[in-house]
Structure 1
Amino acid sequence: MAATTTAMGPAMSDGEGWYDPTKIWTTLLTNRGYFAGLLVLNHSLRKHRSRYRLKVMVTRDVERDEDFMRAFAAAGIPTIVIDKIEPAPRDGKVYKGTWEKLAPWGFTEYERVVLLDSDQIILQNIDDMMTMDIPEGWIVSTHACTCNPRKLPHYSKDWIPENCAYTAANQETGEPAPIVEGSSPENHHLLNSGTVALRPSREQADALMRALDEHPGVPYMRFSDQDLLAAVYRGRWRPLPYAYNALKPMRACHARLWRDEDVKILHYILDKPWQSRAFDQADPVQAMHRLWWDEFAEVEREWREDAADDPEKARLWEDVVKPVVAQE
């Protein structure tokens, strides 16, 4: 789980010293397709005056993409180059997944790391995640929504609203349902790894890698990293209110719980807003894409203002950013 930090590009306009260096936000990028999402995530963290810097984990394949790495530098986003993480072969077969999302447990140079997904947008300051209590050997996350409103056939048959932890949450306050071993529905033990706060340690990192190689459920884990985390941290993870990882379909399937003004982190699971500029404003879920596009417009305006005096930044916009963002 080796990692190399590369502080690329100029300091943010806030000044490098403005950030607390002991804690970071991080997200994983394995290809160019999510770069627009990363730019919006970074912009929205800065917009809400986070005291902590976002550093993006990139794979060795991304590191070899020279223009992509130049684009991170142009955006002022430091990179952490991580090695490939995958389970030991079972019967000659390797089970693929986003296992690289487990790398932050080994980032022991930081007191705390908060793992975010690059298809999220920050709508309020979330710096409290850097100071909230995390017992030794625990993590903090949010429940998985197991309603399966799209009736996707590859999801488990017990993914129905009656078993969803958000159905059991306090519908007035948003407080999550407590997880009680032996009495909570099995789905209440599942988490969504789009938002995870942790205290890195070599002991926990090693335990995760052992579980990756040895846990009998790994070949059957549909959601790879988050299923492994739910298994390893069963009974040792504290659920946060949905507002810290508001999965966009919940605006419809958990309408009683959802309040726009409470959402801190909006998570664009399933179809991504940057894939199309056309969306149904009347649809309660699709309408949330407007927030992303408004934020992206601010990103584009700032980038183009800088690019007016920087031909290389202008080129990177055309060659790296624009191709992965719908133009109509």
Structure 2
Amino acid sequence: MRHDGAAGAGRHAYVTLVTNADYALGARALLRSLRLAGTQADLVVMHTGGVDTAALGPLQGFGARLVAVDLLPTSDAFNERHGRARLHGAAPFTKGGKPPFHTPLDNFAKLRLWQMTEYEKVVFLDADTLVLRNCDRLFAYPEFSAAPNVYEGLSDFHRMNSGVFVARPDAATFDAMMQALDRPDAFWPRTDQTFLQAFFPDWHGLPVFCNMLQYVWFNMPALWNWQQVRIVHYQYEKPWQDHDKADRLRPLIDLWRAYAGDGPVPDLDDLPGPQPSDPNTSDPQPSGAP
């Protein structure tokens, strides 16, 4: 792990992962949102070899530490099972579309944050999230804390979502993860998310408002409350893409674009709320879990 810049005096950090230029675009909006929320914690961007210097440059303007990381040294058989075509064929995403730049195997690089032992506690945030209010209180949560993967109904509460989680870096934990991850015939259908829930079966629950998945907007509108939402997570389709749900998610996309730019961001009190979906026109929801 190669650090570009020294660690700050603090013992807490928000960490994200950038594996290509698209996620660098998302990370810029995320970092700006963290700065606007007034955090005093370090901001850290782990980046892999798939990201060039030009894409990373804008991230340094927010005072982020850039930490170059390698993909995990997993076996050829493991890599084959978790390649995009093989994984999506065996465990298809049926409720939304994964963008073409999504490479499932890269997700496991998140585990590198357990090697960042210069920090006492870290909050991991996917690069497709926005922080709308100060979330520094998350550092008081224990390892391993994550919000449930809620975006459709009550049955979602038994699964956690790894787009936002609280962890305590520790070399021994990282070593134990490496032993558990690449077992013979191991298959993690939702990559790091499935693995982390198995590794931390007694995970602690964060409020859903600390990882509000964008599909809640049209699937569970009664749950959406701008006064409570702290982190929005653009699961599946990304707000910088053209996609078939863009019209339904327009207020959330416009919000992301405001943070991705350099101008003012809207007051949350002025944002419109979601409208209940028309059951006669809403998208069908076949089985399958992200």
Q: TM-score, normalised by structure 1?
A: 0.67
The reply on whether 1:34 has 2:1 as its aligned counterpart is no
Cα drift, residue 223 of structure 1: 1.2
Gaps of 5+ in 2: 84-104, 266-290
1:262 aligns with one of 205, 209, 228: 228
| Higher mean displacement: 266-275 or 118-127 | 266-275
Structure 2 counterpart of 1:260, one-letter code: W
Local SS of the residue matching 1:273? coil
Q: Deviations over 1:283-309 (max 9, x none)?
A: 3x33211211122232699xxxxxxxx
Cα drift, residue 270 of structure 1: 1.6
Cα drift, residue 20 of structure 1: 5.0
Cα drift, residue 86 of structure 1: 4.8
Alpha-carbon spacing, 1:253–1:7, altered in 2? closer, same or farther (3 Å): same
Cα drift, residue 131 of structure 1: 2.3
Local SS of the residue matching 2:182? helix
Other-structure match for 2:196:
229
2:12 aligns with one of 11, 19, 23: 23
1:77 aligns with one of 64, 73, 89: 64
Take 1:92 and 1:48, find their aligned partners in 2: how far apart are those partners? 38
Structure holding more helix per residue: 1
Cα drift, residue 162 of structure 1: 5.2
RMSD of aligned alpha carbons: 2.7
Structure 2 counterpart of 1:273, one-letter code: P
Structure 2 counterpart of 1:212, one-letter code: L
Take 1:5 and 1:87, find their aligned partners in 2: how far apart are those partners? 22
Which 4+ runs in 1 deviate beyond 6 A? none
Other-structure match for 1:48:
37
Local SS of the residue matching 1:259? coil
Other-structure match for 2:167:
198
Cα drift, residue 94 of structure 1: 5.3
Q: How many residues align?
A: 242
Take 2:239 and 2:131, find their aligned partners in 1: how far apart are those partners? 15
8 Å Cα contact 2:124/2:166 also seen in 1: yes
Superposed, which structure 2 residues align to 1:1-328 within 5 Å?
Answer: 3-7=1-5, 20-62=9-51, 65-74=52-61, 76-90=63-77, 93=80, 95-96=82-83, 97=105, 98-132=107-141, 134=142, 138-145=143-150, 147=152, 161=153, 163-165=155-157, 188=158, 190-214=159-183, 216=185, 218-219=186-187, 221-235=188-202, 237-276=203-242, 279-280=246-247, 283=248, 285-298=249-262
Question: Larger Cα Rg: Structure 1 or Structure 2?
Answer: 1
Local SS of the residue matching 2:261? helix
Structure 2 counterpart of 1:233, one-letter code: F
8 Å Cα contact 2:115/2:174 also seen in 1: yes
Q: Deviations over 1:97-118 (max 9, x none)?
A: 2110111112111101111011
Q: TM-score, normalised by structure 2?
A: 0.75
Gaps of 5+ in 1: 9-15, 148-160, 166-187, 302-328
Local SS of the residue matching 2:252? helix
Take 1:110 and 1:29, find their aligned partners in 2: how far apart are those partners? 20
Local SS of the residue matching 2:147? strand
Cα drift, residue 33 of structure 1: 1.1
8 Å Cα contact 2:211/2:230 also seen in 1: yes
Q: Deviations over 1:221-266 (max 9, x none)?
A: 221001000111112x101111100001012222232212100000
Identical-residue share of aligned pairs (%): 28
8 Å Cα contact 2:258/2:264 also seen in 1: no
